[in-house]
Amino acid sequence: MSVAVLAFGLNHTSAPVSVRERVSMPVDLVKPALEGLRATFGGAVREAAILSTCNRTELYCAAEGQVAEHLPAWLAEHNRLEAAALRPHLYRHQHDDAVRHAFRVASGLDSMVLGEPQILGQMKDAVRAANEAGALGTLLHQLFQRTFSVAKEVRSQTAIGAHSVSMAAAAVRLAERVFGQLEDARTLFIGAGEMIELCATHFAAQRPRSMVVANRTIERAETLAGRFSAQTMKLADLTERLAEFDVIVSCTASSLPILGLGMVERATRQRRHRPMVMIDLAVPRDIEPEVGRLDDVYLYSVDDLGRLVQSGTDARRAAVVQAEAIIETRVQGFMHWMQSREVVPVIRDLHQAADERCGPPSSSARAACWRAASRPRPCWNSWRTG
């Protein structure tokens, strides 16, 4: 049976953070998920990779056609969810639509922050994890290599990343809405990953009164804090010290909330109801959403920041048109490569049959035949599936 390229999942446009966090896969769970997927479908899933970020969880497959309709049930069961509740938020792309989707994602055209560069690195990490899990083969390897090449071409030949407002910059803007200038703000960063580093860079430029980094691994906190002359603290000290801070930015890989309603409520009483800005960039969320109901707390999720960063989108519309044109050309190139892979075994079998009947053809005739086989055949798909 023929193998198709599939792209399946959900993202910030199809599902709110309350849904995305329930199917998010930290990096240590990607390999077991890939193993479970292939065990469920057997040889019908030839290759697979999982891309899971704050804004999307997507599965890329080289699989037999009947697999696509069963993927929603697999994803729901894997995450112990009801398929009926998850299904409205899912999308599925096949064949050239799947290739186009991969190219758009890597180029930043499908991001919450249009043109943001982090997604390309995240996709490379996903491919590396799939390769280490033994889940990549020729088809997806070629797809992702071309994906990375297209993303580089889009960024170098268009202004897709210009005028963009990053999530980190948006976090600063939200804090400034409440406190005005941030020179007197005491700022706490929970986590020590790439997003926290970006946020710390933007906040440091505003010269807040103090910056503190809290992390499960204190060594990583010290490394990050050293870049900004910040202090560090243990996560275990949050309960006692939370009231000290005016701005809290959190982004960890925890599967459970770090800051609960009770903890934050106690902190607001200790602060005598002075306002707190809490920015939760994690998926799953680090801060219980009920915290947002407290009168003195301004809680923002990753989706809230996403709405703010859309402000610079209009200036990049022309770049989007250019990027889409580049992507469309490269999609057709990849589909031509796939068709050539399918044709080659057929031509080889025909050659063998002809050799057995008539003897080997001349070298010039064989070369002409191979050249003809490598050209696009507009009617090939209809013939093959008709």
53 is in an annotated binding site: yes
Per-residue pLDDT tens for 114-128?
888 889 999 999 999
194 is in an annotated binding site: yes
C-alpha to C-alpha distance for 218 and 212, rounded to whole angstroms: 12
Q: What is the pTM of this model?
A: 0.81
Catalytic residue among 54, 61, 199, 251: 54
Q: Residues 211, 187: contact at Cβ < 8 Å?
A: yes
Question: Can you tell me the mean pLDDT for 96-110?
Answer: 97
116 is in an annotated binding site: yes
79 is in an annotated binding site: no
Helix (H, G, I), strand (E, B) or coil at 21: helix
The tokens for 380 are 């090939």
195 is in an annotated binding site: yes
Measured over the CA atoms of residue 272, residue 273, residue 275 and residue 279, the dihedral's sign is positive
Express the helix, strand and coil content of the chain in percent, nearest 5 each. 60, 15, 25
Non-local CB neighbours of 9 within 8 Å, separated by 6+ positions: 51, 56, 57, 58, 59, 75, 90, 91
Q: Residues 286, 252: contact at Cβ < 8 Å?
A: yes
C-alpha to C-alpha distance for 257 and 255, rounded to whole angstroms: 7
The tokens for 198 are 């970006």
Instruction: For residue 367, give Cα distances in angstroms to 351, 364, 376.
Output: 12, 5, 17
- 199 is a catalytic site residue: no
Q: Is residue 351 scored above 70 in pLDDT?
A: no
Non-local CB neighbours of 26 within 8 Å, separated by 6+ positions: 52, 253, 255
- pLDDT the model gives residue 357: 63
The tokens for 328 are 């469309």
Using CB atoms within 10 Å of the CB of residue 366, give its burial: 0 to 12 exposed, 13 to 18 middle, 19+ buried.
middle
- pLDDT the model gives residue 385: 35
Percentage of the chain modeled with pLDDT above 90: 76
Using CB atoms within 10 Å of the CB of residue 147, give its burial: 0 to 12 exposed, 13 to 18 middle, 19+ buried.
buried
Identity of residue 290: E
Question: Can you tell me the mean pLDDT for 335-358?
Answer: 67
| Domains of the chain: residue spans and CATH | 3-156 (3.30.460.30), 167-312 (3.40.50.720)
44 is in an annotated binding site: no
- pLDDT the model gives residue 6: 97
61 is in an annotated binding site: no
- pLDDT the model gives residue 87: 96
- pLDDT the model gives residue 309: 80
Q: Is residue 231 scored above 80 in pLDDT?
A: yes
Per-residue pLDDT tens for 309-331?
876 566 677 889 999 999 999 99
- pLDDT the model gives residue 356: 62
C-alpha to C-alpha distance for 108 and 113, rounded to whole angstroms: 8
Mean pLDDT taken over the chain: 89
Per-residue pLDDT tens for 13-46?
999 999 999 999 998 999 999 999 999 998 999 9
